[in-house]
Amino acid sequence: MSDRPSVLFLAITPKEYAPSNVRNYGVSRTFHLIPHKHSILALTAWLRQHGCDGYYIWIHHDDPDGLDRILQFIEDKKPDAIGLSLVTEELIAHHRLIEKIKEKFPHIQVIAGGPHVSAEPVHTLENFPLIDYVCIGEGERTLTEWLKMIAKGKSTKDMRQVRGLAFRDNSYGVAITSPREKFNDINILPDPAFDLIAQRERNLFRDSAFPLVGSYGCRHFCAFCAADHGNYRFMTPERIVDQIERAQREFGVGYFSIRDSFWPPSKVWCDRFCDLVELKKLQFQFHFETRAGTLDLRQMIRLKNIGAIAVAVGVESGDPDMLKAMRKGITLDMARRTFADLHKAGILSIAFFMLGFPGETYDTIDRSAEFARELNPTLLSLATFRPLPGTEIHRHIAEDDKYWWMKGEYPTVGEIPINELKRIHEEMHIRYPLNIAYLKQHVYASRLPAELRKVAYSAFRVHLRKYVLGILERYSITRELIRHTRSLIRRYS
Ligand code: B12
Ligand code: SF4
């Protein structure tokens, strides 16, 4: 047994990340500018606190030396296992990577965790033979116990005592152990192992956004989302301010990206956070995602004064019935007020909309397009709906389409075919106006930290291209009309 059992976490950016993401202009790309998985930082911190260790290599699919770097690392450091943290669209690419690794290290044990495999442990183990174990749910304690057993050379026979695991078993097919209890209080968790991304992204903390996540699960129940609904836990404002101070002290960070599904957890929490930042006279900037209706104008102004630059809001649809069907828990008026307040507070705004949720029609899409124009966000970000495993909708998908991630294409779930949705997706961006406010904000954005500036540039380029294409398209229609009119004149003169 090694002194300190260790796991090498691997991540690869898939080539076709997801059909909709390839076309996802603007803000979704922000998050991919610094690819990292918070889960891996959290798990490593816990492992270290409990006598183990974690390493982390993230490669891009077209990195020519990526695989060699990984193989060399395994050769040199001899980790006891490989860990994967997977969302649905990443599974296939990660399994392909493991195929190559197992050619050279056939006996290294692979464990996968994260929202996808937690929702589909049996399907994963039955269809991906190179994944040896699946961790279901929160992984800190499960992974540590499992890793210590692996390092002692224990096999599946001994793993029945580790809660929250699934694995292939000769006698039972896939065995699932009893469920792992969740943390009641996530304030007991150590700070994430930020040094893991500091090693990889040398410039990360100088001119890009430093990622923070201060909550587990979610208190909302949006029907399209696979979060751990109803199990919402969050860290105290003191804890988050501590992390901010530590990041500033250790890595010289000036800009933070708060990546919780919604932030702040409550109005009271927000006031306490602002009080602490003001009291400690901390100087930093940040962006975050909130829910429509969480913040009022007074708080937005306060947040702006302590450094908030941009806020993203999941609006999802401009149709009230669609919002109800999505169980979004917001109304159009709440979204209107939130965007009006963001504009008044002088904070850049990003609106997330979703296309293709069951029940979507051409009319509801028109309403969304109209509503996006009315809200006038700095950036519009569109996503195409896909039924994520673990959601109720997924349980009702036809058997042929249920495992769509195996085919690498989103299924058609409503009355509008998926290819048509993709076309509308692009068109909505063409139709979203290149307005003066947008240009003004773009110019303003050029004074912002690098991550946000890059997003603004990329969105600007996309808008400009679409705008020019739009003109050309119109021009060719005009030309066509002239040609047709001339031929008519010729025919009848
Ligand atoms: C923060 C967040 C992001 C951030 C950061 C993502 C990141 N990878 O760190 C950003 C904004 C970048 C992001 C992007 C995306 N996200 Co996101 N995101 C979240 C969010 C809000 C919280 C996740 C988080 O960090 N939680 C805190 C950590 C500590 O918990 P955790 O990730 O669940 O990990 C725990 C366990 O799952 C387990 N575990 C996880 N990995 C592993 C690995 C091993 C080996 C083990 C043993 C255990 C284990 O242990 C961890 C600690 O307890 C969740 C919703 C939610 N409220 O949970 C959605 C969520 C995870 N995202 C989701 C999706 C779909 C995406 C995108 C694909 C969206 C898009 N279309 O672009 C991308 C994918 C990015 C990527 N490559 O990971 C889905 C995933 C569902 C699914 N089945 O695929 C979720 C559940 C939301 C939803 N819509 O349903 N996301
Ligand atoms: S979409 Fe966001 S707010 Fe809604 S349930 Fe998922 S994580 Fe929570």
Rounded to 5°, angle at Cα 471 from 470 and 476: 100
Q: How far, in Å, is the centroid of ligand 1 from the Cα of 349?
A: 23
Task: Select from 259, 287, 326 the residue to mutate for testing ligand 1; criterion: most ligand atoms less than 8 Å from CB.
Answer: 259
Q: Answer whether residue 389 shows pLDDT above 50.
A: yes
Distance CA 351, CA 67 (A): 38
Q: Answer whether residue 297 shows pLDDT above 90.
A: yes
**pLDDT tens-digit profile of 4-23?**
999 999 998 877 554 333 33
Mean pLDDT of 130-145: 98
- The reported pLDDT for the residue numbered 24 is 32
- The reported pLDDT for the residue numbered 21 is 37
Mean pLDDT of 426-450: 59
30 Cβ closer than 6 Å to some ligand 1 atom: no
Rounded to 5°, angle at Cα 46 from 45 and 49: 90
From the alpha carbon of 225, which atom of ligand 2 is closest? 6
Q: In this structure, which residue's CA is closest to atom 53 in ligand 1?
A: 138
Distance CA 456, CA 448 (A): 10
Q: Answer whether residue 218 shows pLDDT above 70.
A: yes
88 Cβ closer than 6 Å to some ligand 1 atom: yes
CB 149 within 8 A of CB 159: yes
Ligand positioned closest to the Cα atom of 220:
2
Mean pLDDT of 422-450: 62
Q: Answer whether residue 364 shows pLDDT above 90.
A: yes
Percent above pLDDT 90 for the chain: 62
Residue 404: half-sphere exposure toward Cβ, Cα within 13 Å: 21
**DSSP reduced 3-state for 349:** strand
Q: Answer whether residue 437 shows pLDDT above 60.
A: no
Between 1 and 300, the more confident residue is 300
Mean pLDDT of 424-436: 66
Q: Answer whether residue 188 shows pLDDT above 80.
A: yes
Pick one of 2.30.30.90, 3.40.50.280, 3.40.710.10, 2.40.50.1020 as the CATH number of 6-176: 3.40.50.280
Going from the C-alpha of 425 to that of each of 24, 366, 429, 453, the distances in angstroms are 9, 12, 7, 24
Nearest alpha carbon to residue 355 among 326, 389, 375: 326
From the alpha carbon of 215, which atom of ligand 1 is closest? 27
Q: How far, in Å, is the centroid of ligand 2 from the Cα of 161?
A: 33
Q: How far, in Å, is the centroid of ligand 2 from the Cα of 58?
A: 26
CB-based contacts of 221: which residues, under 8 Å, 6+ apart? 229, 230, 327, 329
39 Cβ closer than 6 Å to some ligand 1 atom: yes
Ligand positioned closest to the Cα atom of 265:
2
Mean pLDDT of 50-76: 92
Domain limits of the chain?
6-176, 209-432
Q: How far, in Å, is the centroid of ligand 2 from the Cα of 407?
A: 26
Nearest alpha carbon to residue 1 among 219, 148, 114, 178: 148
- The reported pLDDT for the residue numbered 225 is 96
**pLDDT tens-digit profile of 449-480?**
665 666 666 666 666 666 666 666 566 666 66
| 49-77 exposure pattern, b = at least 16 Cβ within 10 A, e = fewer | ebebbbbbbbbeeeeeebeeebeeebeee
Mean pLDDT of 427-444: 58
DSSP code string of 437-484: HHHHHHHHHTTS-HHHHHHHHHHHHHHHHHHHHHHHHHHHHHHHHHHH
Q: Which of 162-176, 287-301, 318-332, 478-492 has the lowest mean pLDDT?
A: 478-492
218 Cβ closer than 6 Å to some ligand 1 atom: yes
Distance CA 354, CA 381 (A): 9
Superfamily (CATH) of domain 209-432? Aldolase class I (3.20.20.70)
- The reported pLDDT for the residue numbered 29 is 32
Q: pLDDT averaged over the chain?
A: 86
Scanning the structure block, which residue is given the tokens 């193989």? Answer: 71
**DSSP reduced 3-state for 2:** coil
- Measure CA 44 to chain center: 20
Q: Answer whether residue 279 shows pLDDT above 70.
A: yes
Percent above pLDDT 70 for the chain: 82
pTM for this prediction: 0.89
Rg of the chain on CA atoms, in Å: 24
Ligand positioned closest to the Cα atom of 326:
2
Between 170 and 362, the more confident residue is 362
312 Cβ closer than 6 Å to some ligand 1 atom: no
CB 263 within 8 A of CB 310: no
